[in-house]
Amino acid sequence: MGQLENIGEARARDERMSDIFEILEKDAEYNRLIKEFADDINVAYPVKYQKIFEISRVLFDRKRGAYEKIVKNTQYNDIEYWYSTINGEVQEKLTAVYHHYINIRNLEALTVGHSRKIIQRLKELKLDRSITPGFNFRKFGCEYEAFILQLQACFEHFIHSTAYYFNFKTTKPESFLKKMRELATTDQIAEKSLQRFEAALPSLVKVVISKSRAYPEGYSERDRIAHIGQIFLHPLNIVFNLSENITILPVGRYDGSTAFTNHPQLSESIEPLMLTLFDLIFDSYLIMFKG
C-alpha cells in the first residue's frame, strides 16, 4: 500500500511541475528576465566563429567526416576526446579572449564618458594655462594581461587539437611546424593546414610565442607577463591647452616609441591580433572538416 501511495505522490508532483513549467513558458515577463540575466552573465562571441563549432558538433553527432578519419588513426583515435579539445577547450579559450577584448572596449567607452565630463568642467573654469591630468589605468593593464594569457592558451589548445587530428601530440609551435612540414609532403590536408598556419604565424610571434632557438628574437609579451619582465601601456591623459583644443590620449599598447600622440586605442591594437587567431582556427578546422 505504501509503495502505491509513493507512486501516486510522485505522479502528482510531476503534474504540478508540468503546470508550473507551462505557466512560466507562457509568461513574457519571466522569459524577458531570464534572457536579460543570461545575456549579462554569458559571453556571445561573433556568430562567424560559432559556426565552426556547430559544424564540429554535427559531424561528431553523426560520426562523419573528420571524425571518421580520427577513428582510423593508429594512435590518437578517440573521437570523444578530439571533440572535447575543439568544442571544449578551444571554444572556451576563444570565448575568454573575446570576453577580455569586450571588457577593454567597455573600459574605453567609460573613459570617453568620464573624460567628456572633465573636459566640460575645465571649459567652464576657463583656466589660463594648459593642464594634463594623468590617470591610473590599472584595469586596462589587468584586462590586457588576461587577454594575452588567454590568447596564448587558446593558441596552444588549437595546436594540440590540430596535432591530434594528424595523429601526433604537441602544444608547441616549433614542434608542430616541424611535424606538419614532414606530413605536408604526402598529405594534402596537412599541406593546406600548414600553409594557413604559416600565414598567421608572423602576427603571433612577438605576442604569444615564447623565446627559443626557433624564435630567438626576444621575449614575447606572454613571456614578460608570465615569467620575466613586465608589459607597458601608453598612459591615459587629457590635454587641455590655452586655445581650448582638448585631446584625449587613449590607453594604447606600448610599441617602444617615445611618441606622445598618434597611438591607437588598446582595443584597436589588439583586435587584429585576436582576429588573426580566430580566423586561423576557423579556416584550419574547416580544412579538416571538409577533408
Separation CA 102–CA 150 (nearest Å):
14
* Least confident segment among 5-9, 76-80, 89-93, 109-113: 5-9
- 86-90 own/partner pairs: CB under 8 Å, 24+ apart: 86/53, 86/56, 86/161, 86/285, 87/53, 87/56, 87/57, 87/60, 89/157, 89/160, 89/161, 90/154, 90/157, 90/158, 90/161, 90/281
End-to-end distance of the chain based on CA atoms, in angstroms? 62
Separation CA 138–CA 147 (nearest Å):
14
- What are the two backbone dihedrals, phi and then psi, of residue 241, each rounded to the nearest 5 degrees? -110, 180
Q: Has residue 10 been placed in a domain? A: no
pLDDT above 50 (res 261): yes
Q: What is the average pLDDT across 62-79?
A: 96
Q: Provide the domain limits for residue 188.
A: 44-290
β-strands 246-249, 233-234: how paired?
unpaired
Q: Has residue 27 been placed in a domain? A: no
* Least confident segment among 99-103, 211-215, 268-272: 211-215
Query: 98 with 43: CB under 8 angstroms?
Result: yes
Give me the pLDDT at residue 17, please.
64
What number of residues does the chain have? Answer: 291
Q: Has residue 98 been placed in a domain? A: yes
Read off the pLDDT of residues 155-166 as tens digits, 9 standing for 90 and up. Answer: 999 999 999 999
**Cell of residue 266, nine digits:** 588598446
Nearest CA to 259 out of 283, 242, 235 is that of 235
Query: 189 with 288: CB under 8 angstroms?
Result: yes
Q: Has residue 38 been placed in a domain? A: no
* Rounded percentage of the chain residues whose pLDDT exceeds 70: 87
Give me the pLDDT at residue 4, please.
47
Contacts of 254 (CB under 8 A, 6+ apart): 231, 232, 233, 234
**Cell of residue 154, nine digits:** 587558446
Number of domains in the chain: 1
- Crossing angle of helices 188-208 and 173-183, in 10° steps, is 160
Separation CA 273–CA 285 (nearest Å):
19
Q: What is the average pLDDT across 167-183?
A: 96
Q: What is the average pLDDT across 47-59?
A: 97
